Structure formats: structure tokens, C-alpha cells
Amino acid sequence: MEHILNAIQFLVDLGPAVMLPIVMMILAMCFGVKFGRALRSGLMIGVGFVGIGLVISLLTNNLGPAAHGMSQKFGMSLSVVDIGWPGASPLTWASRIAVFAIPVAILVNLLMLFTKTTRVVNVDIWNIWHFAFTGALVNLATGSFAWAVVGVIIHSALAYKFGDWFAPVLKEYYELDGITVPHGTSAYMGPVAVPIDWALDKIPGVRKINFNATIIEEKFGPLGEPMVIGTVLGCLIGALAGYDTKGVLTLGVQMAAVMVLMPKVVKCIMEGLIPISEAAKRSLQKRFSGGNFYIGLDPAILLGDSQVISASLIFVPLTIIIAVLMPGNEVLPFGDLATIGFFVAMAVGIHKGNLFRTLISGTVIMVITIWIANQTIALNTMLAKSVGSSLIANDATRIASLDQGGSPITYILTEILHSTNVTGLITISIIYGFCIIFTALIYRARMRARQALGAASTTNPE
């Protein structure tokens, strides 16, 4: 057992850009893809994730300081810094639950596949850190390793269901057939956007409001291209941060580069995935009758959409405004601002690229996230101290994280087992529970409609 855990830890330590190609190559050969093609597919996926890493670094290194400059310019006195997923994930992997979380999450996935309670085949082992984070905080809150494992099980089971529910969104909007995103902030915040989209459809006049990068490009020609929109938004953020003319223009061009480069590197991932996805579908349909299966991947593949990138840039200043206006907030959004697109990527797909609706649901998502992040400050700080992180300079230092530290799943599980805010627990449980139930009902209704349509076309082929 120890050797298996060491092997898993070694694989995780390689990082997603190396780990995913290895996993995907092995998976491809298991599904009958020849070695040469499997190797090429794995390497192409690795190249894509290296490219995504470079673009995200471009965002983090340039957009992060601009966001910090905005907070200073507006005189924000928020005392607890958001360390973001780049800070939270290493803390999680260093925790005692992390290595156990991977086999537990894989076993849950296999069990759900055999019992036909999911069609998601999750190959993104790296993002199991989200499940592990929940387990780590439950462990700190309760002192029980057994409850920590239960936390991992519940979060992973929910994530695989998210993958089922949102697979049609990825196919219809993102044009990613046979692919889904079962984890990360994109998945667990997706249910918040579903009832909002339904409600907006019921309001006369409002339901017709639609603006997105494509519509802007159609109306303004070259001036409406994603590259130009990125430039404008980048310059605006630079101006709000108090940059000089050179700094404003530089940030504008850098954000234009993000708008152009991100879709291109995501295409590399898709090129590598196509043969694996096709082989996986054929193999799984032979072994498990009853429908299509979905390969579960990192939400980074959603960042290739121009609407997602546009929403990301809009939500940088908007998230800071929300943090300033929220009563009692102590958290300074910082580490996750550069990758805020993860929080709203699924909402963009649910709203079919409508940025007006994304602004509404995204605002709700960020309000919930920041509020929960305030409630988990103590546990985030305890996690950092427990692994001896250098993030903790002294006993007075406190840290927060929006990604996962602001997760309703993590918050509800820790509060149920070790309640510190009964009112908050009840409020978030009602809101998030309603969103999950509503999403499940909408998914089932749409699946029945698709099945009825398929049956009708088979009966009446003309």
C-alpha cells in the first residue's frame, strides 16, 4: 500500500503538464489506441497545458499586480489576502489526506460507473486537490481522519454528477463532444447559474437582452474583435490601477495576447483528446451499455472561449468592488483574480455566451464565494500552519482562498460537522441545496426531451 501511495505522490508531484500526458497515454492504450498515436495524443495534451500555464502566468504576473494596485488606489483596508488556487493547492497536496484522496476519488468514480450513477470517466487526477481540500478542512474542523475521507467521498460524488449535468453545456456551447468538466470552481459554481438563467427567461424584455463578444464584433467589425476587446479591458484595468501611460498600454497589449493565445493552446489539447475520446467512447459503450460516456478534464479547457476571457477581465474590477461593498468582509481578492474566469466559465456556457446574464449570475457567484471565504479564514490558516507553509509569517498572519476556500460544498460539510455559524450554514445550505436540486431537475427534463425527440426521429425517419 505504501508503494502505491508513493507512486501516486510521485505522479502528482510531476505537475499536471507532465502527469496528464502520461495518464492520457496509458488510458489511450487501454482503450485500444496504438502506441505511436497514444504518445502523440498525450504529448499534444501536455503541450496544450504548458501553453495554458504560460498564458495563465501572463495573466497572473501582469493582471495580479494591476488588481493589487486597484485595491491600493481605492484605499481598501482588507486585512486577509486571498492566496488563490496557486497557493491553496500546494497546501492541500502537503496535507495528510491528499495522497489518500486520489485512490478514494478514483474508487468513487469506478463505483458510480459500475452502478450507472455517472457517465464521467475522470482522468484529471490533479484536480482531485479540490476534493482533498474539503477533506483537509473537515479533518482540521473535526480532528477525525474518517470524516475527512467522508468529505472527499461526498465532494467527488457531487463532482461526477456535475460532470453529467453540464456535459450537454460543453457539447452545445463549447462544442466539446464527449468531454466534461466535473471539478474545480467552474463545476461547483455552475448550479448557481442554472436557476438564474431560468428566471431571466421568464422576465419579458429582460430575456431578450443579449450582448457578447461575437455580437460586438458583428456590429463594430475589426474594432469588436476579441483582441481589441482585450486591449480595451486591459487598458481600463491599468488606468483603474493608477498605471502611467506606458503601463496602461502594456497591460492592454498583454490582455490582447491572452485573448488570442488562449484559444490556440486549448486547440492543442482538443487535438490530443480527439483520438482518445473516440476510442474511449467505443470501448466503454461495448462494456457498459446505455449511453455515452464523458472524459472529465481540467476546467482550463473552457478558458479558450472569447466570452469566458471577456467575462474574466470584466470580473477583475467587479470582484474588487464586491469585496469593498460587502459588509463585514475581511478578504482582499488577489491570488484568484487573474484566473477569475474559472468561477464563471460554466455560467458563460449555461447562458450561451450571453455576457449580460453572466454578469448577473457571476455577481451572485462572487458574493457567495467571498462570503464563504470569510467563514473559512481560520481553517485556511490552520491548514497552512499544519503543513509548515512559508505563507504564515507569524502567529498573527491569516490567509484565505476564494477557489475552494469559498466553496459551498466545503463550507457546508465543515459547518455540519463542527458548526461555528448556524445562521450561515442554514442560509448557504438552503441557497446551494436549491440550486443543486433545480439543476438536477432541469437536467432530467432535458434528457427526457432529448430521448423523446430521438425516439420520434427513429419512428418517423422522414
Q: Among 336, 332, 319, 316, which Cα is nearest to 251's?
A: 316
pLDDT at 455: 58
Does 439 have pLDDT greater than 60? yes
pLDDT for the residue numbered 268: 82
Inform me whether the pLDDT recorded for 32 exceeds 60: yes
Per-residue confidence (pLDDT) for residue 453, from 0 to 100: 66
Q: Could you tell me if 266 and 52 are in contact, meaning their C-beta atoms sit under 8 angstroms apart? A: yes
Residue 374 has pLDDT above 70, yes or no: yes
Quick: pLDDT tens for 166-224: 999 999 999 888 889 998 899 999 999 999 999 999 999 899 998 876 666 666 566 66
Provide the whole-model pTM: 0.83
pLDDT tens digit sequence for 129-177? 899 999 999 999 999 999 999 999 999 999 999 999 999 999 999 988 8
Average pLDDT of the segment spanning 401-409: 94
Give residue 441's pLDDT: 95
Name the pLDDT band for 295 (thresholds 50, 70, 90): confident
Task: Assign 250 a pLDDT band (cuts: 50, 70, 90).
Answer: very high
pLDDT above 60: residue 75: no
Residue 232 pLDDT greater than 90, yes or no: no
